[in-house]
Structures are given as structure tokens and as C-alpha cells.
Amino acid sequence: MEKKIRRKHSPSNIAIGAVLYLLLAVAALLCVLPMWHVLMGSFSDTLKFGTYEGFLLFSIGGEFKADSYRYLFTHEYLWRSIGNAVFYTAASVALGLVISIMAAYALTRKNVLFRRLLMLIIVITMFFNGGLIPFYMVVNQLGLVDTPWSLIIPSCCNAINIIMLSNGFLGIPDAIFEAAELDGAGAFRTLFYIAAPLCVPFIVVIVLFNGVAQWNSWANASMFISTARQDLYPLQLVLRDLLMSSISDMGLDIPSGSGSAEVYAPGIRMACVIIASLPLLITYPFLQKYFEKGMIIGSVKG
């Protein structure tokens, strides 16, 4: 029978490990506490939270109330903006993923002409760009302003995604591609049935990065979607307007006769933050294992 080898830890190693775990616990706590305060504030009595000062470990008075969410969802475009945000995110991620996979695969094939030059051009875009005004002019000349495509096409793909996927494809042995070619598989079949499934961790990282960026994006919408087309606003732009506006300008169904309407604003803004963050908080745990693997492999091979 094999004997289990037990590692002996010196007191100094144990002390260093304890300190590191303590620091990590403190860092994690500092990250969680602000979000916990926001969550408790959103479920507190709206009037009481408007005049409350300090940190919330529990909802005010120990009662959970959804008044902030009820007032928030009376906004005219909120439900539509949630649907818009889901559509923009899904479409941008899907389109960007297809473009990134095809570009990365082509740039890793040895028989592609000028592949090093093309990769250099792609890398240059990471450091230099035309600026905000030329960006708007290009989108405007393409006729995309005030259309959903202005929030999907310009931000669907970037150099980082292509480079990361290139590292993934380069890690696949050439023998696999040669075997696929001998079996009569074409380029597209080899790419989508053999190469892409072997790069799932990289693909998941790209999906996560693009999804988070698109879901949180409001700058492009503020540039390309005019106030006359508020029905095209994504969720983040509506929430940004709610966070920056006074309560009287929010367009919410706030009850009158309870003093200044501004007392409702803090609770409603806490609810805004929770609604914007909830989809990402739900999705990330399911992608975490792929995210870690893809990042580690990509950083080593890059």
C-alpha cells in the first residue's frame, strides 16, 4: 500500500498562510459590504431610508419592503429597456464571438498570407484609435444612428478577444487539424466542430467579458440614441438617467402628500443598482471555472 506523504509546515509558513487568508477575508468583506448595504437599503422602508444615516446590516426596522422596486417599475421605459439590454447583449456577444473565432482561426493558419502583418494591425488598434468624434462620424455615415445596430456592431469585437482565441487555437496540436483534413473536413467544419469545442474556456471568457461590457454600457447609447427614441434605450442608460435626475424628473408614480418627494430617491437608486447588477451576479458563478481556466491558459501562452 502506498503511504500518503504528509507535508510538514513550519510555524513561519503557517503564520504567513494565516495572514494571507486574513487579508483575503478582509478584502472580500470590503467588497461585499457595500453591496449588502445597497441591497438592505433597497428593501427598507423608502421614507425611512431617505432620512437614514449610516451602514445597514439589516433592513430598517427588520422589515423587508419592496416599495422602492414598485416605484421604480412604474417608469415608462424600464421594462422595455430591460428587454433592449438583453437583446443588445445577446446580439453583440453572438456576433462578436463569430467574428473573433473566424478571425483568430484564420490568423493561426500557416498558409494564410500576411497573417503576421494582419495580427500587427489588430494589435495596433489596442493602443491607438481615431477618437470619439471620428467614431461617431463613422457610425453616422453608416446610417446606424438611432437604430439598435449602433449598440451592437461597433462594440461587438475587439483585439483582445482575437488575441486570446489565437492563443487557444495555437495550443491545439497540428496533428488534429491534419487528421481532420485527411478525413475530408473543410475549413468551416474543422473550425466549428473540432477547433472551437477545444477552446471552450477561451470562448467562455470572451462571452463573459463581452457580456459584462455590453450589459454595463451606456456611453454608446447616450451618443447614438437620441431622446426622441427613448424606446431604444438600454437598461443602463435609463438607470443612469434615474440616478442623475431629481425624483421629480424621474417620471415615476411617487405618492404625494408625504413631504418632499426627494426623500424617496435614495431607496429607488439603491433598487436601480441591484437591478443592474443582478443578472451578472447570477451568471458569473456558472462561468467561473471556465473563466479561471481561460485566463490562466491565455496568460501563460500569451
State the pLDDT at residue 1.
43
Report the C-alpha gap between 151 and 154 in whole angstroms: 7
State the pLDDT at residue 90.
93
Cα distances (angstroms) measured from residue 4 to each of 8, 67, 139:
13, 59, 64
Q: What is the tens place of the pLDDT at every residue in 243-260?
A: 776 655 565 666 665 555
Q: Which residues of the chain have pLDDT under 50?
A: 1-2, 298, 300-302
Report the C-alpha gap between 82 and 78 in whole angstroms: 6
Superfamily grouping for domain 78-228: MetI-like (1.10.3720.10)
How many separate helices (H) and strands (E) can be counted in the chain? 14, 0
Q: What is the tens place of the pLDDT at every residue in 183-206?
A: 888 888 888 888 888 888 888 888
State the DSSP code for 250.
Answer: S
Nearest to 194 by CA among 206, 176, 210, 178: 176
State the pLDDT at residue 301.
46
Q: What are the boundaries of each domain within the chain? A: 11-72+245-301, 78-228
CB 152 within 8 A of CB 91: yes
Residue 221 grid cell: 447609447
State the DSSP code for 63.
Answer: -
